Amino acid sequence: MSDETALLREPWLDFARQREAGKFGIWVFLASETLFFGALMLTYMVCRIEHPEAFVAAGRETNIWYGTINTAVLLTSSLTMAVAAQGAESYARLRRLVIACLTLTALLGLAFIVIKGFEYKEDMDKHLVPGAGFELPERAAQLFYGFYWLVTSVHAIHLSIGIALVGRLVWVLLRRELPVTENPEIEVTALYWHLVDIVWIFLYPLIYLPGRSS
């Protein structure tokens, strides 16, 4: 099994055990990321409980179309990443499919960042940056936008790391440095990518949906 020996790393003697350890390790890391973004969600919830009407007014100012399209883009990137991961998993040698899906995932990630850039520009034009020239009268609305700018940029950084990881994978797989079948790095990158998507799934209703109905 030449693939396995190429992927075997220190200090493991048995490849299946190494894969299982890699998967377990990334899931433990995702648990820490859950608490990382969970603490931010708690900040949002506490501020919203203390200033409900200001948060609703601030939520109304966000551009829901950018938010919805971005959520769709990220969900689609999760689809292509899942197909790539499951393709690498299966014993049918689907090397070209996996590489194609990984590239698609990276491109969708980039699309998300570009759309985010446009949204940021529009927010700046509408003076939604907390500080002196803030647009909305309610002062607690500045808390909402303090949270908005912070959490979307932290999420964008995590997404960029994801894009870099996927890009590296595509580069390494194209140059045949690593085999595709049962490659633990694909599985680990996929799990990380899905987490970044889940974080955005939760951010969407918090940032874009408040204040639409009233």
Residues 137, 93: Cα–Cα separation, whole Å: 60
Measured from the CB atom, is 64 or 113 closer to other proteins? Answer: 64
Q: Considering only the C-alpha atoms of the chain, give the largest distance between any 2 of them, rounded to a whole number of Å.
A: 67
Amino acid present at 64 = I
Structure tokens given for 70: 């971005």
Task: State in angstroms the smallest separation of the CB of 99 from other proteins.
Answer: 12
Burial 104-135 (b: 16+ CB within 10 A, else e): bbbebbbbbeebbeebbeebeeeebbbeeeee
Task: State in angstroms the smallest separation of the CB of 167 from other proteins.
Answer: 20
Task: State in angstroms the smallest separation of the CB of 91 from other proteins.
Answer: 9
Task: State in angstroms the smallest separation of the CB of 33 from other proteins.
Answer: 7
